[in-house]
């Protein structure tokens, strides 16, 4: 099975105040951690969509196996443009598409459990859930490629595909809030730096 990840790393990091992909994380940069985590979690290749921080991110990706750079010149026009740039770049025979943003750090076991659940479910999409709320990464069947290419900012982007197939969604319950971790501000980043090791190590508790 060809499982391809699209890692969104093209944002302007306005609220953070500095480039999110280059934030220190677990003794490396956030973008490198995310790529390694996705690959360790069972993804075949990772397509990293870059934008404002392309000059900093590109050299990191060049030295990583199974990591591919996709520069999005239209990154300032919204996340939808980056998703479509990533979808356009991946192989047409992709079986499953894992979608994750660089500012949503996830341990490899979360990736693995989500991907395995998706592949065994036969569902068009899989969404991790924590206490009734959706999390990430999202996984889409390769058959939804054309629908993902047709999204737009005006039609709520990825939500239009999500809503169209929500009735058949594979909702994967986690007992760990790490699936909702999102680094949007300096405060959320500092909090996550201290909390992440504890959350990432709770695999056994989460899966019981």
Q: Under a CB-based contact definition with an 8 Å cutoff, are residues 47 and 108 in contact?
A: no
* pLDDT value at residue 155: 82
Measure the CA–CA gap between 168 and 56, rounded to whole angstroms. 40
Task: Give the rounded percent of residues in the chain with a pLDDT score beyond 90.
Answer: 90
CATH no., domain 3-207: 3.90.550.10
Q: Which residues of 109-147 are buried (b: 16+ CB within 10 A; e: fewer)?
A: bbbbbbbebbbebebbbbbbbbeeeebbbbbbbbebbeb
* pLDDT value at residue 208: 41
pLDDT for 66-87, tens place per residue?
A: 999 999 999 999 999 999 999 9
* pLDDT value at residue 62: 97
* pLDDT value at residue 14: 84
205 band by pLDDT with thresholds 50, 70 and 90: very low
pLDDT for 103-154, tens place per residue?
A: 999 999 999 999 999 999 999 999 999 999 999 999 999 999 999 999 998 8
How do the domains of the chain map onto residue ranges? Answer: 3-207
Mean pLDDT, rounded, for 46-54 = 97
């Amino acid at each position: 099975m060809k499982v391809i990840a699209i890692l969104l790393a093209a944002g302007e990091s306005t609220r953070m105040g500095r480039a999110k992909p280059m934030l220190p994380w677990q003794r490396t940069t956030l973008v490198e951690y995310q790529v390694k985590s996705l690959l360790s979690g069972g993804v075949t290749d990772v397509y990293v969509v870059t934008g404002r921080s392309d000059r900093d991110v590109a050299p990191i990706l060049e030295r990583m196996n199974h990591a591919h750079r996709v520069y999005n010149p239209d990154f300032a026009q919204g996340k939808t443009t980056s998703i479509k740039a990533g979808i356009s770049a991946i192989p047409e025979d992709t079986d499953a598409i894992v979608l994750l943003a660089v500012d949503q750090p996830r341990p490899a076991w979360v990736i693995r459990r989500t991907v395995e659940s998706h592949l065994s479910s036969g569902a068009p999409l899989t969404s991790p859930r924590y206490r009734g709320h959706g999390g990430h990464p999202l996984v889409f069947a390769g058959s939804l490629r054309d629908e993902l290419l047709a999204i737009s900012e005006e039609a709520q982007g990825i939500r239009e595909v999500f809503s169209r197939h929500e009735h058949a969604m594979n909702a994967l319950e986690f007992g760990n809030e790490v699936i909702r971790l999102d680094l949007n501000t300096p405060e959320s980043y500092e909090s996550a730096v201290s909390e992440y090791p504890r959350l990432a190590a709770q695999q056994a508790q989460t899966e019981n």
